[in-house]
Amino acid sequence: MRPKRPLLAIFLPLAMAAGLATSARAESVMLTGTIGNRAILIVDGGAPRTVAPGEKLGNVKLVSVQGDQAVVEVGGQRSTLRMDQPASVGGGGGGGANGSRIVLPAGSGGHFVTPGAINGRSVSFMVDTGATLVSISAADALRIGLDYKKSSPVQINTANGVGQAYRVKLNSVRVGDVEVYDVDALVSEQPMPYILLGNSFISRFSMQRDGDQMVLQKRF
């Protein structure tokens, strides 16, 4: 679950914040399973928890569960979650991809992870300021339907020596309600537990660190 990375590798659990400071804070929520009328939720990149209708996990209240969907409420705003698809709920986010600000609070041990999406397909990201590009394992690339072998192969230096990878262009990369387009990425034949959210994504934002929080504000 925690790959060994040199230099500035960091693992990021993500909480989204949007709108005015007086508004309810948006929450990053993902439905990962159901047990009867209970939902298994991940909130802000934390550990999965089983929640019954009417109960809260942090600021997220579970309203109902039906099949592979769940209705949750944050600050009076309701949203329907679909299995393994991250969503930003509350804070006036509305579930769209028009946001411009990401707030990343440190998790236990100072590590951070976040759900997200590539080309509309659900993935798990690790924000890595030491990675030049968004970096994807071949297994993840195949799972999300990325035909990377049509791209030009390149050689990369790894801890195990020189390896082969493919440079690709991603149509979109989304974290919470923030989405950017035409993002350069690298697909590696080596297995990785997370997709590295490198500087080809991060450079689209201005970055600030404030204690245990990182704030990314979209520049373009």
Residue scoring higher pLDDT (108 or 126)? 126
Q: How far apart are the first and last CA of the chain?
A: 32
Residue scoring higher pLDDT (159 or 213)? 213
Residue scoring higher pLDDT (199 or 95)? 199
203 pLDDT above the threshold of 90 = yes
Give me the residue label for tokens 């705003």: 77
Pairing of strands 38-43, 114-118: unpaired
* 220 vs 181: CA distance, rounded Å: 10
pLDDT in tens, 142-196: 998 999 998 888 888 766 667 789 999 999 999 878 899 999 999 998 888 889 9
Structure tokens at 101: 């600000």
Q: What's the angle, vertex CA 56, arms to CA 215 and CA 173, rounded to 5?
A: 35
Q: Which range scores top for mean pLDDT: 11-15, 115-119, 137-141, 193-197? A: 137-141
**Exposure string over 13-35, b if 16+ CB within 10 A, otherwise e:** bbbbbbeeeeebbbbbbbbeebe
Q: What is the pLDDT of residue 220?
A: 73
Structure tokens at 145: 């339907």
- The predicted model gives 4-29 an average pLDDT of 41
Q: Which range scores top for mean pLDDT: 37-46, 137-146, 159-168? A: 137-146
* 136 vs 192: CA distance, rounded Å: 7
204 class by beta-carbon count within 10 Å (0-12 exposed, 13-18 middle, 19+ buried) = middle
